[in-house]
């Protein structure tokens, strides 16, 4: 009898243990912690958690899917939010951000933000927080800002908002001047461009430092000069620049720029388009100025450089040799906090390689999914 | 008294010991009845073996028939004896503790197989690497990865920051909001 009883217990326990060990296990709500300051302009209304942990080989994959419903507790309309997401495990060292530009959240209204992330770690799942979500910045309709700004969310959200305003104004103008037919045509052209662009994007790996050893499989490194697209109204002009090229690697880009405006500049970001030999595949990179205390007085020059290596791959994973590099000024921040972004005319020549703004993408998708009337209603809200 | 071992006595009985060993054994046997009896039994066996070797004519076919008959008889007798018991093949092979041990071994084997079969996590470079992956972007290295996913999104635009970051932007199919994910290698 004792033996039979032991069988009845031991077998299900062992089978159950095997099943649990090999399959996904749900993670509790406390897996992700959201941290809002005491004076935060948004408050947490509710949280939905669908997180789980799955053993995969010697590692554990943590799938964190959290939805936060936040409420705007200020009297100003929120137009953008950036959340900073960090892994709680020091050895993992992961850091990311989730940004929601082009919002239009009125006082007392709520909005949903979703964090979909994965942590792959060689260790077992420990109890407690896996990830921490912090509010890094909130931008309002009038471009005023709140937040600790650890990820430079003020500059980022402001630039996004300026681009969104630029594109909304453009489409409003098209509607006013050409009517519904003209707006519809613009939206179709935009959607078509986005589809074409997605046809052959290059994949890229970014390595923070340069190569440790020389790769014998790569041809000898040589400096490759940038071709520049200059904008007449840009406050900063690129003068000359190059990067070290070797096969599919582009390393240590450096571009000299000159401040041609009447105000001192504290940040410059250049667009960097890398194309393969055929010119059909490309990737758009940004090259921000590295110095924290950059200061370019009116009429003066400075260098924008980064100690990184980009490795390009085609869609099928084969290395794609870098053949051509194009640079243009994509963002400038003055010492007074004002930000400049290119206008739509400036970007006309780069349409083939540079994606449209997020706002244009959102509006064209709205047109495709909900129709012209819904798009017009959306434009009227801003 | 120390007695010679069995092999020495057997060799003595067969006359195969060397001179000195034979002399020593003879001296021992003169005073030890026990070993003498042992030697006598070895000698008797030897004589029987000799007799067997001299068996003149054996009817092998008759011997075979007799052995088969004996085997059949044995099987029938065995069945008669086992009539009251359950048939042998219906008994459980693994019961009790042995079943638990067997199952635990199987589970361990399966789990080990699963662990070894699945590929190890990304180890792309010795450095921290940011890159696009299926449905997301990641920063990783040394067996760890931090990923922001864009599952379910279409029309995702990837961008690269030369300072060591990667971005993925898309319109969230669930909320309708523009979402921009960024991971940083620093």
| Three-state secondary structure call for residue A101 | strand
In a domain, B117, yes or no: no
Tell me whether residues B177 and A201 touch, CB distance under 8 A.
Answer: no
Quick one: tokens of A175? 């509607």
Q: Are A221 and A127 found together in one domain?
A: no
- CB < 8 Å to B144, chain A: 59, 89, 91-94, 119-122
Cα distance from A147 to chain B (closest Cα, Å)?
18
Q: In this structure, is residue B62 part of a structural domain?
A: yes
The residue among A216, A202, A232, A199 whose CA lies nearest residue A324 is: A202
Nearest residue in chain B measured CA to CA from A118: B147
Closest among A286, A328, A122 to B144, alpha carbons compared? A122
- For residue A265, the domain's CATH number is 2.60.40
Quote the tokens at residue A294: 């950059």
Q: Find the DSSP H helices in A88-152.
A: none
Same domain, B135 and B168: yes
Question: Is the CB of residue A21 less than 8 Å away from at least one CB of chain B?
Answer: yes
Residues B10 and B39 in one domain: yes
If asked whether residues A329 and A239 sit together in one domain, one would say yes
Query: Do A207 and A277 lie in a common domain?
Result: yes
Residue numbers in A near B133 (CB within 8 A): none
Given a cut of 80, whether residue A94 has pLDDT beyond it is: no
Is residue A153 in some structural domain? no
Domain range enclosing A87:
13-148
Number of structural domains, chain A? Answer: 2
How many structural domains comprise chain B? 3
Same domain as A206, residue A142: no
Query: Would you say residue A115 lies in a domain?
Result: yes
Separation of alpha carbons A322 and A213, rounded Å: 20
Q: In this model, does residue A3 exceed pLDDT 50?
A: no
Q: Tell me, yes or no, whether A180 lies in a domain.
A: no
CA distances in angstroms from B128 to A41, B157, B163, B183, listed in the order given: 35, 22, 12, 11
**Does some domain include residue B72?**
yes
| A189: in domain | no
Examine the predicted complex and report whether its ipTM is higher than 0.90: no
Do B48 and B64 have their domain in common?
no
- Name the residue facing A198 among B150, B155, B159 (closest C-beta): B155
- Whether residue B97 is found in the same domain as residue B143: no
Residue B138's SS3 state is strand
Stretch A304-321: mean pLDDT = 83
Report the run of H or E that residue B46 belongs to, with start and end.
helix B33-53
Contact at CB, B115 and A57, closer than 8 angstroms: yes
**A262 domain-assigned:** yes
Render pLDDT for B99-113 as a digit per residue (tens, 0 to 9).
Answer: 788 888 888 887 776
CA distance B108 to B77: 45
* Structure confidence at residue A37 as a pLDDT band (50, 70, 90): very high
Q: What whole-number distance in Å separates Cα of residue A29 and Cα of residue A49?
A: 6
**Does residue B61 sit in the same domain as residue B21?**
no
Q: For the full predicted model, state whether its pTM sits above 0.90.
A: no
> Residues B96, A97: contact at Cβ < 8 Å?
no
B172 inside domain: yes
B120 in a structural domain: no
> CA-CA distance, B132 to A319, in Å (whole number)?
15
Given B114, B143, B186, which is nearest A208 (Cβ)?
B186
| Co-location of B47 and B13 in the same domain | yes
Report residue A10's pLDDT band, with 50, 70 and 90 as the boundaries. Answer: very low
> Are A352 and A280 spatial neighbours (Cβ–Cβ below 8 Å)?
no
Q: Which helix or strand (DSSP H or E) is residue A116 part of? A: strand A110-121
Interface contact A306, partner B, CB < 8 A? yes
* From B95, B103, B124, residue closest to A3, measured CB to CB: B95
Same domain as A216, residue A136: no
The answer to whether position A26 is within a domain reads yes
pLDDT digits (tens, 9 = 90+) for B81-130: 555 454 445 556 556 777 788 888 888 887 776 555 443 333 334 467 88
Do B12 and B27 belong to one domain? yes
Q: Can you give A224-293 as a three-state secondary structure string?
A: EECEECCCCCCCEEEEEEEEEEECCEEEEEEEEEEECCCCCEEEEEEEEEEECCCCCCEEEEEEECCCCC
* CA atoms of A361 and A194, how far apart (whole Å): 8
Same structural domain, A352 and A204: yes
Q: Token pair for residue A116?
A: 């979909």
Host domain of residue B43: 6-53
């Amino acid at each position: 009898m004792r033996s039979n009883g032991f069988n009845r217990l031991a077998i299900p326990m062992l089978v159950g243990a095997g099943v649990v060990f090999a399959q996904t296990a749900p993670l509790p709500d406390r897996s992700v912690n959201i941290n809002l300051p005491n004076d935060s302009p948004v408050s947490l209304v509710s949280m939905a958690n669908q997180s789980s942990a799955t053993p995969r080989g010697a590692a554990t994959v943590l799938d964190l899917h959290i939805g936060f419903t936040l409420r705007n507790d200020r009297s100003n309309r929120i137009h953008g939010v950036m959340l900073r997401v960090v892994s709680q495990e020091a050895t993992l060292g992961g850091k990311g951000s989730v940004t929601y530009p082009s919002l239009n959240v009125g006082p007392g209204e709520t909005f949903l933000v979703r964090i979909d992330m994965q942590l792959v770690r060689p260790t077992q799942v420990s109890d407690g927080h896996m990830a921490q979500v912090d509010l890094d910045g909130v931008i309002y309709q009038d471009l005023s800002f709140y937040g600790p700004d650890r990820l430079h969310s003020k500059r980022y959200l402001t630039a996004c908002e300026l681009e969104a305003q630029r594109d909304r104004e453009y489409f409003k103008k098209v509607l006013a001047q050409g009517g519904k037919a003209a707006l519809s045509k613009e939206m179709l052209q935009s959607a078509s461009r986005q589809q074409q662009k997605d046809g052959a994007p290059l994949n890229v790996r970014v390595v923070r430092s340069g190569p440790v050893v020389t790769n014998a499989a790569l041809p000898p490194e040589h400096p490759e000069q940038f071709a520049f697209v200059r904008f007449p109204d840009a406050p900063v002009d690129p003068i000359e620049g190059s990067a070290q090229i070797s096969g599919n690697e582009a390393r240590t880009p450096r571009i000299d720029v000159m401040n041609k405006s009447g105000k001192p500049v504290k940040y410059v970001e250049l667009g960097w388009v890398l194309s393969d030999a055929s010119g059909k595949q490309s990737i758009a990179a940004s090259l921000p100025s590295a110095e924290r205390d950059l200061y370019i007085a009116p009429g003066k020059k400075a260098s924008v450089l980064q100690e990184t290596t980009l490795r390009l791959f085609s869609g099928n994973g084969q290395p794609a040799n870098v053949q051509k590099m194009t640079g243009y000024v994509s963002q400038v921040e003055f010492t007074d906090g004002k930000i400049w972004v290119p206008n739509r005319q400036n970007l006309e020549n780069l349409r083939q390689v540079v994606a449209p703004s997020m706002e244009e993408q959102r509006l064209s998708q709205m047109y495709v999914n909900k129709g012209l009337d819904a798009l017009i209603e959306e434009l009227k809200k801003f | 008294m120390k007695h010679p071992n069995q092999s020495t006595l057997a060799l003595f009985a067969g006359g195969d010991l060397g001179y000195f060993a034979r002399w020593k054994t003879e001296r021992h046997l003169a005073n030890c009845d026990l070993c003498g009896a042992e030697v006598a039994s070895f000698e008797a066996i030897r004589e029987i073996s000799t007799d067997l070797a001299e068996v003149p004519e054996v009817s092998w076919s008759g011997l075979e028939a007799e052995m088969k008959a004996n085997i059949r008889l044995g099987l029938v007798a065995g069945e008669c004896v086992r009539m009251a018991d359950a048939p042998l093949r219906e008994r459980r092979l693994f019961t009790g503790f042995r079943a638990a041990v067997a199952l635990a071994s199987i589970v361990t084997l399966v789990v080990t197989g699963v662990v070894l079969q699945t590929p190890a996590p990304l180890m792309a470079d010795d450095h921290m690497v940011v890159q696009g992956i299926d449905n997301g972007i990641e920063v990783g290295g040394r067996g760890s990865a931090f990923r922001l996913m864009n599952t379910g999104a279409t029309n995702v635009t990837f961008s690269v920051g030369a300072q060591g970051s990667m971005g993925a932007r898309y319109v969230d199919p669930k909320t309708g909001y523009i979402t921009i994910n960024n991971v940083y290698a620093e």
